[in-house]
A and B are shown apart, each in its own frame.
Chain A
C-alpha cells in the first residue's frame, strides 16, 4: 500500500469510531434533555454545546491536562498501565468531543420534531415506552439523526487542533489526513497534499448529499403527518 494512503485510512477509522461514539452519547443526551425534565437543563445543554465555539486547540489542551500522566483521569488510568495520550484512542476522543455538539443538536431537533400526538396514540394502543422509542420515535427522527451522523463524521474527519494537542502527529499511528496534509505541504510533497485534497472533496460531497437527502425526507414526514 502506498505510504500516502495510510493517513487516509487512519482518518476514516478515527472518524468512524468517533461518529459511533457521538451517535450513542449524543442521541442518549438528546433523548434525556428533550423527553425528561432535567434539573439545570440549560446548563447541561450549554456544556455539551461548548466545544462548538471553543478553539479546537484549547479543547485539545484541556484533554491533555485531563488525560495526561499527571492529569486527574490520566494518573488514575496509569495505575492500570493505560496510557491514552498520543495514541489512536486519544485521536478518537478528541474527534468525538469536538463533533458531539453537531450530533447532539441534530438529534435534539429531530426528537423534538416528533409530534407528541403519535406518542399519545401509541400509548393508547398498549405500546410500552421502549417499543415507542424503537418503532415510533427513532424512525420518525431518523432523517435528522442521519444528518447529524453525516455532519459529525465530516467534523471528525477534519479535526486538526485538538488531535494534534492530545494525540500528536505520529505517522502511521495518529497522523490523520489534515495533519498529514500539513506535513506534506511543509515538506513540499505536492502530489501527496493534492491526494488528500481530492479525497476530502469527494467525502465532503457525499456528506452534503446525505444531509440534503435527510432534510428532504424529514420535511416530507412533517408535511404528510396529518
Chain B
C-alpha cells in the first residue's frame, strides 16, 4: 500500500502528487518528462520532497511536518531502474548476494533459478541479453525483501519480441508476489493491460486513481 501527498519544485514545474493505492499493481502513466521518475525517487528516498508525507504499508517514511525522513536503505524499497543499474564488476550471483541480508547470502542461487538465470550465475551483467538483465534487476530488487516494488519503465529497454513474453511473466509474478507494485510507463497500452489501477501524470500533477477491470488483455 502506497499513500502520499507531496510537493517538490523541479526544474520546469512543481511536482504535486497525491494518491493512495492499495491495489497489487498501480501504474503511473504519463509522457516522458512528466515527473514520473522524480516521484519514484521521492518514494524511494533518493530525493527529498519540499513538503508533504509518504506512507508505505502503513509506515510513515517521510513527513515534512514531523521533520521525518527515513533513509533509503531503511525504507525497504525494491527499485528496478530504467537502465537496471546492475553492478558491472559483479556477476549475476554476486549482484543478488549483495542485496540479501548477510546471513542469507547463500540463497542467491534460489533467486537466480526462480528467474530462469541459473545458467548465467557466473556471468557479468554486460554479457546478458536485455531480457536477462531485466530479470536479474527484478530478482535483485526482490532479494532485498521489499514491502513496495517500484518499476521504472521496466520494459522500455527490451525489443518487441522479448517484451511480449516478459509481459506474461510479469503478470504471473505479480499474482505470486503479494506486495504493492508501482510501475511507471509512458505506454498507454502497458498501463491498460498491466495495472489494476492507473494514475495519470501530467506536468508533475497526478490524476485521481482509476480502477481497472483486468479480465481482458494478455490473460
Contacts of B79 in A (CB 8 A): 120-121, 124
Of the candidates A121, A128, A135, A139, the one whose C-beta lies within 8 Å of that of B85 is A121
Q: What's the Cα separation between A81 and B112 when bound, in Å?
A: 63
A131 to chain B, nearest CB (A): 8
Smallest Cβ-Cβ distance to B99: which chain A residue: A125
The number of chain A residues with a CB under 8 A from chain B is: 20
Contact A117 B81 (CB under 8 A): yes
Contact B81 A121 (CB under 8 A): yes
B154 to chain A, nearest CB (A): 14
Of the candidates A124, A135, A140, A225, the one whose C-beta lies within 8 Å of that of B144 is A124
Instruction: Answer whether residue B89 sits at the interface, using C-beta atoms and an 8 A cutoff.
Output: yes
Known pairs A120-B46, A121-B79, A121-B81; A126 contacts B87 (CB<8 A): no
From A125, A135, A226, name the one whose CB has the most chain B CB atoms within 10 angstroms.
A125
Instruction: Answer whether residue A221 sits at the interface, using C-beta atoms and an 8 A cutoff.
Output: yes
Known pairs A125-B98, A224-B126; A140 contacts B72 (CB<8 A): no
Of the candidates A122, A124, A135, A139, the one whose C-beta lies within 8 Å of that of B77 is A124
Within 8 A of A (CB), among B105-130: 124-126
Q: What's the Cα separation between A124 and B79 when bound, in Å?
A: 7
Of the candidates A122, A125, A127, A225, the one whose C-beta lies within 8 Å of that of B88 is A225
Contact A127 B98 (CB under 8 A): yes
Contacts of A206 in B (CB 8 A): none
Smallest Cβ-Cβ distance to A225: which chain B residue: B88
Known pairs A117-B81, A121-B79, A226-B83; A126 contacts B99 (CB<8 A): yes
- Produce 1/0 per residue, A16-41, CB < 8 A to B: 00000000000000000000000000
Contact B124 A123 (CB under 8 A): no
Within 8 A of B (CB), among A92-136: 115, 117-118, 120-128, 135-136
Q: What's the Cα separation between A225 and B88 when bound, in Å?
A: 5
Known pairs A117-B81, A120-B46, A121-B81; A127 contacts B89 (CB<8 A): no
Q: What's the Cα separation between A154 and B88 when bound, in Å?
A: 30
Contact B44 A124 (CB under 8 A): yes
A52 to chain B, nearest CB (A): 30
Instruction: Answer whether residue B205 sits at the interface, using C-beta atoms and an 8 A cutoff.
Output: no
Contact A128 B73 (CB under 8 A): yes
B132 to chain A, nearest CB (A): 15
Contacts of B73 in A (CB 8 A): 123-128
Of the candidates B86, B88, B125, B143, the one whose C-beta lies within 8 Å of that of A140 is B88
Report 10 cross-chain contacts, Cβ distance below 8 Å, ordered by A residue.
A120-B79, A121-B85, A121-B86, A124-B46, A124-B78, A128-B73, A139-B89, A140-B88, A224-B126, A226-B83
Residue numbers of B with Cβ under 8 A of A are 44-46, 71-79, 81, 83, 85-89, 98-99, 101, 124-126, 140-141, 143-144
